Amino acid sequence: MDKLRSMIGGREDSEESGLTAQVLDASTLSYSTRVKWFVICFAAGILCSILATALLFLPNGTKLFAVFYTLGNLAAISSTCFLMGPLKQLKRMFEPTRLIATCVMLLCLILTLCAVFWWQKKGLAIIFCILQFLAMTWYSISYIPFARDAVMKVFTSCMS
């Protein structure tokens, strides 16, 4: 259990030393506080996504849908910062195994908002929201060992 707490808490003795350890020690929260804020932030993300879906059916609801859906995904991503800390989260997001998924996900978040506010293209915003969902799913399963391989195996067997 201590190993799990140290891993979630963002403390791995082999990686951290000097100034980095001091910064993390100065800004750490207790384990229970981290878990509480993770749940709050993740629940807010889910709530925003559900609200976005409901707002889609209102007149002129596409803008609200895109904004709330994007905020929901940002809240969901941010929630894990409470578990492992922001520095470790960023390091893991940009590891070679999930670099492409992270870049596509962040690009889709930005392009969704561009499509709805600057380009005024509702259909394009919906397409980018779908791509957000797919990129977020691919990014999320990158944390589960062998999950991507299993998904690709199922996908290729369905395609043949």
Q: Which residue has the higher pLDDT, 25 or 112?
A: 112
User: How far is the C-alpha of 108 from the C-alpha of 128, rounded, in Å?
Assistant: 6
| 62, 104 Cβ separation under 8 angstroms | no
Q: 107: which 2 tokens?
A: 């690009």
What sign for the dihedral angle of Cα 95, 98, 99, 103?
negative
Task: Give the pLDDT confidence of 42-67 residue by residue, as tens digits.
Answer: 999 999 999 998 888 888 888 899 99
**What is the pTM for the complete model shown?**
0.71
User: How far is the C-alpha of 141 from the C-alpha of 75, rounded, in Å?
Assistant: 17
